[in-house]
Structure 1
Amino acid sequence: MEYFVICFCLAITLHNIEEAIWLPEWSQQATKFQKSVTPGEFRFAVIIITVFAYLAAFTFLFVPQSNIAKWTFIGFLGSMIINAIFPHLLATIVMKTYAPGLITGLLLNIPINSMILFQLFESQVIEYKELIISTVVVGGCLLALIPLLFKIGRKVSY
Structure 2
Amino acid sequence: MKKIIAMLAMGLMITGAAYAQDAPKKDKKQRTEQRGERMQKQKKSPEEMAAKRTEMLTKKYDLNKSQEKKLQALNLRHAQEKHALHANRGEARDHRSARGEMQGSKARYEAELKDILNKKQYAQYEADKAAKHAKHEQKREQRKAQRGGRMQRSER
Q: TM-score, normalised by structure 2?
A: 0.35
Q: Which has the higher contact order (CA 8 A, sep 6+)?
A: 1
Greater radius of gyration (CA): 2
TM-score, L = length of structure 1: 0.35
